[in-house]
Chains A and B, each alone.
Chain A
Amino acid sequence: MLYREAGEFKTSYQADLATFPIRFDLWGFWSVIAVAALVVPFFVNDYWEQAIFLPFFIYALAALGLNILTGYCGQLSLGTGGFMAVGAYASYKLMTSFPGLDMISIVLISGAITAAVGVFFGLPSLRIKGFYLAVATLAAQFFLIWMFNKWGWFYNYSATGMIAAPERTMFGFAITGPYSKPAVTYLFCFAFLFVFAWVARNLVRGRIGRSWMAIRDMDIAAEIIGVNPLMSKLSAFAVSSFYIGMAGALYFALWKGAAEGTEAFPIELSFRVLFMIIIGGLGSILGSLIGAAFIVLLPVVFKVLFVEYWGWPTDIATHVQVILLGALIIGFLIAEPHGIAALWRTAKEKLRLWPFPH
């Protein structure tokens, strides 16, 4: 028997507050991190980088951001694509205006700029909720993309209207541009996801996270027991947009390398990230990661398994995939709003003390 919680008695509040209270989980976690950081970089090639790892890391970061706002604070947003565009264009402007600025700072500052924009578009949330707020964020999505296409200043008046990431190096390794190695971009994005997933975990388990969840679960009661709704909602918009902005910067600068507003950051992108948190689990850090992995891997699995292995026609495989995704989203919304993460938790609870569950 491998997995058990029995015998793990907590002797201090600190131990009780730990992220992985079960030693087995803690070891599992660090093994995965060690493999991801020390082993995978030696084997990662262009295909794995472009089709799996960068999309996963970047979408996971965006999903964490949206989950903080929607899953933890209960404010539905359809503006994710627009906010990713803010991060992307901010990083582009920073990279072209300040050639000396290192890539880490660029991503962080892009996140901060997006946070400010997010707070601005979050202001309506103080007056409106639910469906109406979703429509307001939808307006933000369309307004932002329109703005980036409209004003040449944002794309440095390039003839094509596209933005392209200039080359940047760090410790002598190219991070952006045509010469960047898969291992380098992989590690860079991995580090961002690792650090900020941990930060997200810290935020949601403490004072700020509880104030978000209180607003989500019962806003009136929350206010009467002392939660300032203004601070709570706007901080959720700020943190959420910070994450989504960083994801946008990485999406543009490291993954795609070049982007055009309408094409790269459409409303479909907003929905894709929303589907990730619905399938992975609303209000769950782990769920954000699982959801991102699921949506990134789904087409890959379909391609490898159905098209290449079983020889299905590509268009049929694509249709089946879309139908499956739709069914899963409806299924999760109805049956398990806390997504795969909740199924996982239930499975673990069953495993606990197996074969004597009580």
Chain B
Amino acid sequence: MSSQTVAEAAGTDREYAHQEIDHGLNPRRIGDVVMEVKNITQRFGGVTAIKDVSFDILEGEVRAIIGPNGAGKSSMLNVINGFYHPQEGEVWFHGKKLGNLKPHQIARQGIARTFQNIALFHGMSTLDNIMTGRLTKMHRNIFWQALWSGPAEREEIAHREKVEQVIDFLEIQAIRKTPVGRLPYGLQKRVELGRALAAEPTLLLLDEPMAGMNVEEKQDMCRFILDMNDEFGTTIALIEHDMGVVMDIADRVVVLDYGKKIGDGTPDEVRGNQDVIDAYLGVSHD
């Protein structure tokens, strides 16, 4: 089974990582709460996409959000991003209420995101797409930009160096100058991850990063996610349908069904939860 293979590969990594922690070699530590989602309710006309959902995300963990189609997972990320404005509830990040911040202001707090349907900038190259991930960190004003030589060029080069590190990390050197529209699906997903990574986020939201990929691509993606988490201590919240992958790379899992939270805990706890089993087996709701 495909997911089994991926899961095994990831599992070995994980065991290895834990050994490293035991020997004090690896700084991977789960810390305090970085994000608290409190009693969110999001309605669209008659549809209630999210019903009174609360959960938290700890510093340095990989937090999965799972659930059947239409459960409200993507909507949850849109709420966190400030793109949807929930009727009820609050999102707190690093002890600050995100409240009425605009999406671009929330991005500046250190929250980056990839999308379920790839949302790359199709008119640009791979390199330029990933450079857009650093827009929040570039500040030279329009006059320096117009002049180019000097501060603007130096800023560009400094950020280019960071972006090249991301490109090396994701092993996409060969497609640096390729317009993203020409790339195959799997690579586009990887470039999108690169764009998010370039922002050096403290919280990374991934909406189905492995959807539609083959086993090999999934393995690569798992590896990137785990490496990112290990090496840079990036907190990750990911939505994923492949249960094998989720069970293996996630520290804790939130389960949504029809907009309601029906489970929350470690992969093992969630796996044993009767509501979750019912939701996935399609037991009718009444």
* Residues of A in contact with B (beta carbons under 8 Å apart): 13-14, 17, 199, 202-203, 205-208, 210-211, 213-214, 216-218, 220-229, 235, 239, 283
A202 and B121 contacting across the interface, CB-CB below 8 Å: no
Residues of A within 8 A of B102 (CB): 223, 228
A206 and B135 contacting across the interface, CB-CB below 8 Å: no
Q: Complex formed: what's the CA distance from A216 to B123 in Å?
A: 9
A202 and B146 contacting across the interface, CB-CB below 8 Å: yes
Selected A-B contacts with CB under 8 Å, 5 pairs: A202-B146, A206-B152, A207-B155, A226-B108, A226-B199
Partner of A220 from B119, B122, B153, B196 at Cβ < 8 Å:
B119
Chain A nearest CB from B156 CB (Å) reads: 6
Q: Complex formed: what's the CA distance from A222 to B135 in Å?
A: 10
A17 and B123 contacting across the interface, CB-CB below 8 Å: no
Q: Complex formed: what's the CA distance from A225 to B161 in Å?
A: 20
Chain A nearest CB from B7 CB (Å) reads: 30
Interface majority SS on A: helix, strand, loop or mixed? helix
Interface residues of B in 150-189 (CB under 8 A from A): 152-153, 155-157, 160-161, 164
B107 at the interface (CB under 8 A from A): yes
B123 and A224 contacting across the interface, CB-CB below 8 Å: no
Interface-located stretch among B16-24, B124-132, B217-225 = B124-132
Known: A206-B145, A221-B120, A224-B113. 19 other contacts (CB 8 A): A14-B153, A17-B153, A17-B157, A202-B147, A202-B152, A203-B146, A205-B148, A207-B155, A214-B132, A220-B119, A221-B119, A222-B121, A224-B103, A224-B104, A225-B133, A225-B196, A226-B108, A226-B199, A239-B142
Residues of B within 8 A of A222 (CB): 121, 132
By beta carbon, the residue of chain B nearest A239 is B142
Residues of A within 8 A of B161 (CB): 13
Interface residues of B in 79-126 (CB under 8 A from A): 81, 83, 102-104, 107-108, 112-113, 115, 119-124
B103 and A223 contacting across the interface, CB-CB below 8 Å: yes
By beta carbon, the residue of chain B nearest A195 is B146
Residues of B within 8 A of A228 (CB): 102, 104
Q: Complex formed: what's the CA distance from A199 to B147 in Å?
A: 7
Assuming A207-B138, A222-B132, is B145 touching A14 (CB within 8 A)? no
A211 and B135 contacting across the interface, CB-CB below 8 Å: yes
Chain A nearest CB from B180 CB (Å) reads: 9
By beta carbon, the residue of chain A nearest B152 is A206
A199 and B146 contacting across the interface, CB-CB below 8 Å: yes
Q: Complex formed: what's the CA distance from A229 to B132 in Å?
A: 14
Chain A nearest CB from B269 CB (Å) reads: 32
B121 and A13 contacting across the interface, CB-CB below 8 Å: no
Residues of A within 8 A of B135 (CB): 207, 210-211, 214, 225-227
Residues of A within 8 A of B132 (CB): 210-211, 214, 222, 225, 227
Chain A nearest CB from B144 CB (Å) reads: 9
Q: Which of B102, B135, B136, B156 has the most CB of A within 10 A?
A: B135
Q: Complex formed: what's the CA distance from A225 to B109 in Å?
A: 11
Residues of A within 8 A of B146 (CB): 199, 202-203
Which 7 residue pairs of A and B lie closest in terms of their CB atoms, listed nearest first? A226-B107, A221-B119, A217-B121, A226-B136, A202-B148, A207-B138, A199-B146
By beta carbon, the residue of chain A nearest B138 is A207
Q: Complex formed: what's the CA distance from A343 to B272 in Å?
A: 60
Q: Complex formed: what's the CA distance from A14 to B161 in Å?
A: 11
B160 and A13 contacting across the interface, CB-CB below 8 Å: yes
Chain A nearest CB from B244 CB (Å) reads: 29
